[in-house]
Amino acid sequence: MTAEVGAPVSLRPATPRWRETLGLLAHNPTAAVSALLLLALVLVAIFDETLAPQGPNEVDVAARLESPSGAHPFGTDDLGRDILSRVVLGTGVSLRVGFLAVGIALLIGTGIGLLAGFYGRWIDDALMRLMDMLFAFPAVLLAIAVLAVRGTGWGNTALAIGIVYIPVFARVTRASVLGVREEVYVRASRSVGASDWRLLTRHVLPNAAPPIIVQTSISLAFAVLAEAALSFLGLGTQPPDPSWGLMLAEGRGFIDLAWWLAFFPGMAIFLTVLCFNLLGDGLRDVLDPKQRTLMAGGGR
């Protein structure tokens, strides 16, 4: 007996459209700036050879441990290599490992989360229990253990970090799918006999996507950080590849003599990670106002 006016029932919620998302992001200056910086970083990684003033391993014995100057804006290291060039060339390594790792986690984790959330029952129980086991390992140690088994190198580093993040994506996806599964449009499609595959790909996934997108951005931050940490420990990227973490490890020995060796690569890691985090926060505000994503840092 209420006088509430029935709002028109739309069968399908307005799916966030890219243009709309970008428009809203543009109103969030920090996120917008971060996105632009990351774009610039990707361009740096693509054109690294052209942009770097010198080769990463060009040794100049005459110019060892030189402090930052016009010729070497970030200074030189103990072998006389130009730090700026090495930072520029390290961008590609960091981003490559980051994207590959998150790609692995996204593909497998989201798949598991979709199956668990959509089919529920024993499939859900079994898959999520498996994820709990994986989650019970400390992140860095799990990665170290994977590297111990598989050997070092950037590909294995990406794999190790990717495995660590599978349960995170599985959880976020599952939670999001559970929210979407019972929506009117999903039940409606099911009632007209749509196949599971069609339901999953056309209805469930697109509507469950926002938290996953946010999680992707945040996980990229951690993947870059983890790559740096593993390389710093000597388990990730191996010389002569110029990884930021590796440069930090090398620069550590010269910290009282030449601070710039460790400072600039550290700054590069910090800023990259910061941009991914800020972008993730901005995306969260726009796409996932209910904050269903695991908070940034949840896996740290």
Partner 1 sequence: MTAPVLEVEDLRVRLRTPRGPADVVNGLSYRVGAGETVAVVGESGSGKSVSVLALLGLLPAGIATVTGRALLQGEDLLTMAPERLRQVRGPGAGMVFQDPMTSLNPVLTIGRQIVEGIRAHGDVDKAAARRRAAELLGEVGLPDPVGALDRYPHELSGGMRQRVVIAIALSNSPALLVADEATTALDVTVQAQIIDLVEKLQAERGTGVVWITHDLGVVAGIADRVLVMYGGRCVEDGTVDDVLENPVHPYTRGLLGALPDLARPAVGGVVPDLATVPGVPPAPTDLPAGCVFWPRCPVRGDARCETEQPPLAVIGSADVRLPHRAATWCTDRTSGTESPAGGFR
Partner 2 sequence: MVVLAGVSVIVFALVHLVPGDPVRLALGTRFSQETYDALRERSGLDQPLVQQFVSWLGSALTGDLGVSFRSGDTVASLIGERLPATITLAFASILVALAIAVPLGTISALRPRSLVDRVATVFSQFGISVPEFWMSIVLILVFAGTLGWLPSGGYVPLTEDPAGWLQRLILPAVVTGVVSGSVITRFVRSSVLEALGADHVRTAQAKGLSSRQVFTGHVLRNALLPLVTVTGVQLAYLLSGVVVVEIVFSWPGLGQLALQSVQARDYPVLQGAILLFAVVFLVINLVVDLLYTAIDPRIRR
Q: Which residue, 233, 127, 136, 118, is CA-closest to 182?
A: 118
Number of residues that bind partner 1 (CB under 8 A): 7
Q: Which residues contact 289 (CB under 8 A, 6 or more apart)?
A: none
Residue 191 lies near partner 1 (rule: CB under 8 A): no
Residue 129 lies near partner 2 (rule: CB under 8 A): yes
Residue 14 lies near partner 1 (rule: CB under 8 A): no
Please, which residue, 7 or 192, has the CB nearer to partner 1?
A: 7
Residue 6 lies near partner 1 (rule: CB under 8 A): yes
Residue 3 binding partner per list partner 1, partner 2, none, with a CB distance cut-off of 5 to 8 Å that depends on partner kind: partner 1
Please, which residue, 78 or 285, has the CB nearer to partner 1?
A: 285
Residue 105 binding partner per list partner 1, partner 2, none, with a CB distance cut-off of 5 to 8 Å that depends on partner kind: none
Residue 145 lies near partner 2 (rule: CB under 8 A): yes
Surface-to-core class of residue 210, CB atoms within 10 Å of its CB (0-12 exposed, 13-18 middle, 19+ buried): buried
Please, which residue, 25 or 228, has the CB nearer to partner 2?
A: 228
Residue 10 lies near partner 1 (rule: CB under 8 A): no
Residue 5 lies near partner 1 (rule: CB under 8 A): yes
Q: Which residues contact 191 (CB under 8 A, 6 or more apart)?
A: none
Q: Which residues contact 10 (CB under 8 A, 6 or more apart)?
A: none
Strand partners, 76: 82
Surface-to-core class of residue 271, CB atoms within 10 Å of its CB (0-12 exposed, 13-18 middle, 19+ buried): middle
| CA gap 46, 40 in Å, rounded | 10
H or E element, residue 119 = helix 83-119
In this structure, which amino acid lies at residue 86? R
CB of 87 closer than 8 Å to CB of 76? no
Part in contact with partner 2 (CB under 8 A); list of ranges 104-112, 168-176, 194-202, 269-277: 269-277
CB of 192 closer than 8 Å to CB of 183? no
Part in contact with partner 2 (CB under 8 A); list of ranges 10-18, 46-54, 138-146, 176-184: 138-146
Part in contact with partner 1 (CB under 8 A); list of ranges 3-11, 31-39, 183-191, 228-236: 3-11
Residue 102 lies near partner 2 (rule: CB under 8 A): no
Q: Which residue, 193, 195, 211, is CA-closest to 118?
A: 195
Residue 136 lies near partner 1 (rule: CB under 8 A): no
What is the DSSP code string of 74-91? T-B-TT--BHHHHHHHHH
Q: Which of 137, 185, 194, 238 binds partner 2 (CB under 8 A)?
A: 137
Q: Which of 205, 246, 278, 283 binds partner 2 (CB under 8 A)?
A: 278
Residue 4 lies near partner 1 (rule: CB under 8 A): yes
Part in contact with partner 2 (CB under 8 A); list of ranges 46-54, 100-108, 187-195, 262-270: 262-270
Residue 277 lies near partner 2 (rule: CB under 8 A): yes
Binding stretches for partner 2 (CB under 8 A): 129-130, 132-133, 136-141, 144-145, 147-149, 221, 225, 228-229, 232-235, 245, 248, 252, 255-256, 259, 262-263, 266, 269-270, 273-274, 277-278, 291, 295-298, 300
Binding stretches for partner 1 (CB under 8 A): 1-7
